[in-house]
Amino acid sequence: MQNNHEFKVNLKGLFTPWPIIAAIILTVAFAIAIFRYVFGIGSVTNLNDIAPWGLWIGFDILTGVGLAAGGFIMTTTVYIFGREKFRPIVRMSILTAFLGYLVFIWGLLIELGRPWVIWHAIIYWNIHSPLFEVAWCVMLYTTVLFLEFSQVIFEKFGLKKLQHIFHLVSVPLVIAGALLSTLHQSTLGTLFAIAPGKVYPLWYSPIIPVIFFISCVAGGLAMVILEGHLSKRFFRHEIPFNLIKPISRALVYSLGIFALVRFADIAGRGAVPLMFANAMETPYFWIETVLLIIAPLIILNIKKIQYSELGLFYASLSAVLGFVMHRINMVTTAFARVNGGYFPSWQEFWITASLVTLGFVIIALIVRFLPVLPEGSLIKTRKERERYLAAKKKEDFGYKKLGWNA
């Protein structure tokens, strides 16, 4: 009888539209990828000799890696700064960061011209190349993230001895992760420092690594809040408010510092007139600035809405979108005067969408089977579901009424 119930619930779950949508996106993406491997990158993209980098670098790599910064921020907060109360969300942020990097490497296999020799980065060294540094840091950091995540696997299968070993090495591991992240997050910006004449002055800066690093902290924090919201919607797992509140404050401070550095940098280089110039780059700059800096800072500083569920959701969503805009501007708008008006093809958008989808699918599966979320936050049986729905009906849920420290 009991089994029967569960079967019904699971079956119902199967017929939500999400798996079907995901399947369609991934199947078409697979076809595009095959086409690309046979006929070349040019056959599915609008990239060309004057626009050698586009959406794939801007979103899949610059954005993907940047937004995965939540991983090193949360691990450092808990393991190094000793803010133990954040421990319940550490695993989720490690997992999303780890998957972010895996998906990003997967994206590289489509983006690189000769992906089958991607391992050349290991044997052929050029220490003068920022991209060489990024390659090594990403390789090492993905390994660190895997090791950090391995505790979840050890726990699941009751491997006490390995758990003990993990406990011993966890702090050096987290420090290594933080250092590697600092290096490659900033060096992703350094990539563009070599082309001062080509990158539009609103985005070019001699301190671009600093700008990339601060913005990845803000983007990573916004992503943690947004993940909390999504995880509540999809997994019925809620990040308690006593965690969300300090994270949103940290987001305000990091955005504030970012705004200061960004505008001081623009002013210092005498590029202020370009902010208001009658040029095609100007609207893109303002879309980015409003989404990344202005809107979140306003929302998060209005007393009435700063800690409301919707306020937090829109502020973090806006910051994340602004972050995406900054990174994509970096490879498209900033190069607009030399790239002949590049705009991504539908296949480029599709591949990007498929990478995001892939990330969601893997997270959904892993959360189901491994102890990523704190005990009891996943609804597995019908009884739990009914109880949850009843509670929801009484509006016991929702950020405002939950009596935050529960």
Partner 1 sequence: MSGTVSHSGKTKGLLIDVTLCIGCGACQEACVKEHNLPGGDDDQLSYRNYTVIQKHGDQFVRKLCMHCETPSCVSACPVGALNKRESGAVVWDHTKCFGCRYCMISCPFEIPTFEWYSYNPRIRKCVLCYERIEAGRPTACAEACPTEATLFGDRDTLIEVATQRIRSRAEKYQDHVWGLYEVGGTSVLYLSSVPFESLSFKKDLMQSPPSEITWRILGQVPNVVLIGAWVLGGFYFLYRRRHEVKAAEAHTTEKGGHGDAK
CB nearer partner 1, residue 261 or residue 364: 261
User: Is residue 167 a contact residue for partner 1 (CB under 8 A)?
Assistant: no
**How far is the C-alpha of 98 from the C-alpha of 372, rounded, in Å?**
13
Output the CA–CA distances (angstroms, integers) from residue 277 to 26, 172, 289, in the order listed.
Answer: 42, 49, 15
Contact status: 40 vs partner 1 (CB under 8 A) = yes
Residue 228 φ/ψ region, left for φ over 0, alpha for ψ in the -120 to 50 degree band, beta for the rest: alpha
Report if residue 314 touches partner 1, rule: CB under 8 A: no
| Candidate ranges 14-22, 177-185, 383-391, 395-403; the one touching partner 1 (CB under 8 A) | 177-185
For Cα atoms 158, 164, 166, give the angle at the middle one, nearest 5 degrees. Answer: 100
In terms of CB distance, is 244 or 331 closer to partner 1?
331
DSSP bridge partners of 106:
none
122, 124, 133, 135, 162 from 127: Cα distances, Å? 12, 10, 7, 11, 36
Q: By CB under 8 A, is residue 117 in contact with partner 1? A: yes
Q: Total number of residues binding partner 1 (CB under 8 A)?
A: 57
Alpha-carbon distance of 87 to 290, in angstroms, equals: 33
49 makes contact with partner 1 (CB under 8 A) = yes
**Crossing angle of helices 208-235 and 160-190, rounded to 10°:** 130
Q: Is residue 118 at the binding interface for partner 1, with CB under 8 A as the rule?
A: yes
* Site mask for partner 1 (CB under 8 A), range 65-84, x = bound: -----------x--xxxx--
- From 13, 42, 268, 283, residue interacting with partner 1 (rule: CB under 8 A): 42
CA gap 239, 237 in Å, rounded: 7
Stretch that binds partner 1, among 39-47, 275-283, 317-325, 378-386 (CB under 8 A): 39-47
Task: Write the interaction track for partner 1 spanning residues 124-153; mark x where CB under 8 A is met and - where it is not.
Answer: xxxxxxxxxxxx------------------
Residue pair 226/317 in contact (Cβ under 8 Å)? The answer is yes
367: its two tokens = 């959360």
Identify whether the C-beta of residue 220 lies closer than 8 Å to the C-beta of residue 73: yes
- Position 270 contacts partner 1 (CB under 8 A): no
Closest to partner 1 by CB, 44 vs 319, is 44
**Would you count residue 336 as binding partner 1 (CB under 8 A)?**
no
Specify whether the CB–CB gap between 46 and 345 falls below 8 A: yes
Least distance to partner 1 from the beta carbon of 228, Å?
A: 25
Residue 174 or residue 355: which is nearer to partner 1 going by CB? 174
Residue type at position 48: N
- What single-letter amino acid sits at 21? I
Of 45 and 316, the one with the shorter C-beta distance to partner 1 is 45
Tokens of 237: 């797992």
Strand partners of residue 51: 48
Site membership for partner 1, residue 341 (CB under 8 A): no
Q: x/- binding map, residues 180-219, to partner 1, per CB under 8 A?
A: --xx---x--xxxxxxxxx-------x--x----------
Using an 8 Å Cβ cutoff, are 132 and 125 in contact? yes
User: Footprint of partner 1 on this chain (CB under 8 A)?
Assistant: 37-43, 47-50, 52-53, 76, 79-82, 112-115, 117-118, 120-121, 124-135, 171, 175, 178-179, 182-183, 187, 190-198, 206, 209, 338
